[in-house]
Amino acid sequence: MTYNNTTTTSDKEKADLFADYFQNDVYSYTDDTLPFHDQITSQASNIKKKNITSSNTPKWKQITIEEVKYHIKRLRNSPAGPDNIHNRRLKNSSELLIEHLTKLFNQILK
């Protein structure tokens, strides 16, 4: 896995790389625009500081379909990111895609 010219191979290095990505690129809005910004920032810092196992990982509140819709609606109409998915595509997505994204996000946060 490579991000910002840093290549990683171990699980710990990959987790640190993901933490950097989410802390610096994804959640770059001000704190008050994302309800769970502090939780994400704190978790990213914890991942970089130590090895977190499933037994000591905090439990996350389930994300709702309404929350996903709300945040998709607020996306800027900027060019596609590293995933090559344009924000307009997400904004014009079907209810089924929103349901699948919600399930995916909740599985990731388990």
Could you tell me the pTM of the whole model? 0.47
Residues whose CB falls within 8 Å of the CB of residue 32, separated by 6 or more in sequence, listed in order: none
**Token pair for 33:** 């625009």
Q: How many CB atoms lie within 10 A of CB 68?
A: 22
pLDDT at 98: 93
pLDDT at 34: 56
Residue boundaries of the structural domains of the chain: 10-57, 59-110
Task: List C-alpha distances in Å: 16 to 36, 94, 106.
Answer: 19, 33, 20
Which residue stretches of the chain have pLDDT < 70? 23-37, 51-58
